[in-house]
Structure 1
């Protein structure tokens, strides 16, 4: 029986050779998770990691390996207790679920669950305000006019002057064989730690939920997974929504996914979602 996991154009040895040729000053490291997923990584200076990530993301179609930034080496990532509990059979089942799901419908279900929970928590005027926040058609008229170009993106977690991990001068650029960045949390389950999202009522976020939203945002706005570090997630967005309706849609979906970061969709709709970097964090 053939595997549902992605088969890259370049095998692991080929990727290692390509990394050594392009980054001769750093030796690639390799590790394998309990489910048999190979992780290949290189240590990169913090001030260069975006540049190097851009290059290798651009080569994804050529290699079949998606790069993402983290503080964990391949070995530390593979040995993580979160990943050690997932065997090959469980991973195949998870990938089958992801491949057959309607990712737009699943993404919408996350937002609906968040709205229902918020409405259950609050009552009266507060409940009506939540409905305004979660309905793009009601939110859009409250946002600013269309922008001519994206706002400058500021990395809060991966690199740059506002990077909260700037005390650590190097980052790991790890590679996994996937069809796109949306499959990273599938082959490395719970590489994104959604913290106390933990569920609106009886609804719990799963790697399939992460994959659905990440794929939707990639298709809609060119969002690519840049950093995954536990409770921290960062996306580089090639075509952020610049019009009020698109910004409202993105803001409501981001609020449904990560209310710890997007607590005020109006501010997010006029700010972060119209920029080239989306930084999310779960408390």
Structure 2
């Protein structure tokens, strides 16, 4: 029977055996969510997890499993995932929409909607200030000149010393059968900021919205999901924008998707937007 879900090259058993051989003595776990998504994870020291993620991201083409960093072991994933009430049939329907959707158009809609939501509540003068600050054509002349190479990105929660997860120096590197990290919000609907905690006040996005924005960034800038954990999301960016106009466009799209990260549009446009790591969070 045909399916819109990604079929990996390695079976779960083959991946588990491969990881066992690659990480002898490490803590490995595997589980299957209520919707039938298999998750396999290995516990890795925090100071090594980026190098290990790089290795297995590079092997995605031969395995078909996408690695992401988190504090949740596969067993924890099973417990948390049991609350999402997405069964196999619902997941298949969700994924069919994601695979077939015009992700660029949907991502643009998310950006416009996010801008309007952020600008509401003030008078016309306030709205004009928002347009001055976040319209790419208006913001670009305020940014620094083009860079010759990307700024080095620094992980805040995956490998950095801000251990908000209190996991004593270790992270889980979990593997999910996916075409890319942009499918993770659909396969694991509670994974980032939506659906499982009402505290994310500006998280009004659908799973398709998440997938569309992340896929656009993947195709446009080479952005790949590195860390995903509730209110926290980090992307490794292979081809961040170096020109002011392109960096300004990223600032606008970041505002539409995660307004908490762009309180200072010029700072983000000259800094994180042109770096190899984008760290996002929702309050």
Match of 1:113 in 2: 113
- Offset at residue 123 of structure 1 (A): 1.6
Match of 1:22 in 2: 22
Which consecutive unaligned segments of at least 5 residues does structure 1 have? Answer: 199-203
CA contact (8 A) 2:71 2:167 kept: no
- Offset at residue 50 of structure 1 (A): 0.4
TM-score, normalised via structure 1 length: 0.94
CA contact (8 A) 2:144 2:270 kept: yes
CA deviation vs aligned residue, 1:10-52 (integer Å, no higher than 9, x gap): 1111111111121112142110100000000000011100010
Partner-residue secondary structure (3-state), 2:145:
coil
Match of 1:201 in 2: none
Which consecutive unaligned segments of at least 5 residues does structure 2 have? Answer: 195-199
Match of 1:91 in 2: 91
Match of 2:242 in 1: 242
Match of 2:127 in 1: 127
Match of 1:230 in 2: 230
- Offset at residue 77 of structure 1 (A): 0.9
Q: For 1:34 and 1:165, how far apart are their aligned partners in 2? A: 25
Q: For 1:217 and 1:114, how far apart are their aligned partners in 2? A: 16
Q: What is the Cα-based RMSD across aligned positions, in Å?
A: 1.5
Aligned positions of 1:26-175 closer than 5 A: 26-80=26-80, 83-165=83-165, 168-175=168-175
Runs of 4 or more above 2 Å deviation? 81-84, 160-168
Q: For 1:97 and 1:3, how far apart are their aligned partners in 2? A: 12
CA shift in 2, pair 1:167/1:68, >3 Å: closer
- Offset at residue 151 of structure 1 (A): 1.1
CA contact (8 A) 2:103 2:213 kept: yes
TM-score, normalised via structure 2 length: 0.94
Aligned positions of 1:202-281 closer than 5 A: 204-281=204-281
CA contact (8 A) 2:133 2:139 kept: yes
CA contact (8 A) 2:65 2:177 kept: yes
Match of 2:197 in 1: none
